[in-house]
């Protein structure tokens, strides 16, 4: 009987040791991406030079009214209230669509206006992208303003375009 208990205790000790050793070998970064040989990931600029210039001008224009965020995913500031496949269908149309600049009211934390940069791209997917963004913003009651990145704007110009009083 004693031999059986010692054998059981020994087996239990081996099992506990094995579990502890395995837990120590578990990857400490379970979501890490294993990069294949020859692949490098480097930091890239978030905005182009014309986008940075417009961002700074917009920020100076709206600083008393809004927070300015750049390259915001469309789905992150609207809520799709629907059941089942209808919701999935709308979200799939919105997937991977982003707005150039979102003007966020600091009190309500809601996007009140979106600024899109007008591109001269005639690619069909760009036109579809613009239509989806426009229809979602219209449905949410969010104002859409389109600016041309190659055009020079002044703070009073932007204040007028964004329906802001430049003297406030």
pLDDT band at 98 (very low <50, low <70, confident <90, very high): very high
Question: Pairing relation of β-strands 98-104 and 67-73?
Answer: antiparallel
b/e burial code for range 60-97 (CB count within 10 A of at least 16 → b): ebbeebbebbbebebbebbebeeeeeeeeebeebbeee
Comparing CA positions, the residue from 76, 122, 79, 127 lying closest to residue 99 is 76
Tens-place pLDDT, residues 8-40: 555 555 556 555 566 555 555 667 778 899 999
What pTM was estimated for this model as a whole? Answer: 0.75
pLDDT band at 66 (very low <50, low <70, confident <90, very high): very high
């Amino acid at each position: 009987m004693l031999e059986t208990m010692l054998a059981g205790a020994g087996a239990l000790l081996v099992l506990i040791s094995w579990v502890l050793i395995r837990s120590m070998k578990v990857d400490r970064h379970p979501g890490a991406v294993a990069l294949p040989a020859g692949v490098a990931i480097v930091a890239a600029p978030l905005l182009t030079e014309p986008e940075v210039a417009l961002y700074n001008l917009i920020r100076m224009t709206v600083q008393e009214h809004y927070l300015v965020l750049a390259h915001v995913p469309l789905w992150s500031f609207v809520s799709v209230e629907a059941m089942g496949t209808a919701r999935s269908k709308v979200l799939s149309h919105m997937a991977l669509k982003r707005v150039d600049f979102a003007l966020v009211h600091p009190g309500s934390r809601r996007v009140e206006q979106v600024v899109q940069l007008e591109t001269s791209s005639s690619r069909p997917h760009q036109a579809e992208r613009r239509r989806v963004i426009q229809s979602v913003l219209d449905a949410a009651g969010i104002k859409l303003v389109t600016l041309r990145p190659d055009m020079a704007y002044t703070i009073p110009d932007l204040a007028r375009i964004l329906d802001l009083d430049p003297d406030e």
